[in-house]
Amino acid sequence: MGRYPSYNVLNEKKHWDEHTRSIVTSRLEITRTRRFLKRHEEALLRVICSHLVDDHIKERIDFVLSHIDETLSSKIGEGQRHIHVPKGPDLIRLGLKALDQWVKKRHGVRFTDLSDAIQHQSLMDLSKMKTPELPEWRKVPPIDFFKKLLSLTLEAYYSHPDVWSEIGYGGPAYPRGYVRTQLGQLDPWEAQPEP
């Protein structure tokens, strides 16, 4: 439980315009049909994403997985990437496969079968480029895979209304806007720290 246990950003949705309200509330409706992720990739991502955000609430992680699947299946380009880095969908698919093979060589089991502590340590090693030169990592640079996966996870997680409520983020201020803009000042509709 965060510092704002009784705060719910959705109590303010009546102050948002219809378009904003529909976008935010749609984040509570999880898409169950996957267009890109295979079942074993989704299971692996569920564990990884839970570690990356230190949250095991199913609805939130389901939303993160839906976002990742939607992003990876989209025809919209990525903007920019280094020339030696595969495109996003390939980077994630190859990276998940490489991660699973790497930990299996290291620990004798797949990533999802490791203890929480070893899963966490494996992700820490990956983030710090403590992955030995193995054939698994030739097709996908480990640090680029980790950064892409972290980015996809965080952008989804911190756009979920339940997370907004937990961290005290007031959500969209449109069309109402903020009145109190000085440091330390809060508008009446914003979250107030609770004892």
pTM: 0.91
3-state secondary structure of 70: helix
How confident is the model at residue 1, as a pLDDT? 60
Residue 183, domain member (yes or no): no
| Cα–Cα dist 70/37, whole Å | 9
Q: Total domain count for the chain?
A: 1
Residue located via tokens 């009145």: 179
pLDDT, tens digit, for every residue of 116-139?
999 999 999 999 988 877 888 888
Q: Is 162 helix (H, G, I), strand (E, B) or coil?
A: helix
Identify whether 182 is part of a domain. Answer: no
Structural domain contains residue 29: yes
The boundaries of the domain holding residue 32 are 9-167
Q: What DSSP line would sit under 93-114, residue for residue?
A: HHHHHHHHHHHHHHHSS-GGGS
Residue 124 lies in a domain: yes
Find out whether the peptide bond into 142 is cis, omega within 30 degrees of 0. Answer: no
Q: Per the domain annotation, does 116 fall within a domain?
A: yes
> What are the tens digits of pLDDT across the range 60-119?
999 999 999 999 999 887 777 778 889 999 999 999 999 999 999 999 999 999 999 999
Distance CA 117, CA 22 (A): 39
112 within a domain of the structure (yes/no): yes
Nearest-angstrom CA–CA distance, 142 and 45:
16
Residue 50 reports pLDDT greater than 70: yes
Residue 105 domain flag:
yes
Answer yes or no: is 137 within a domain. yes
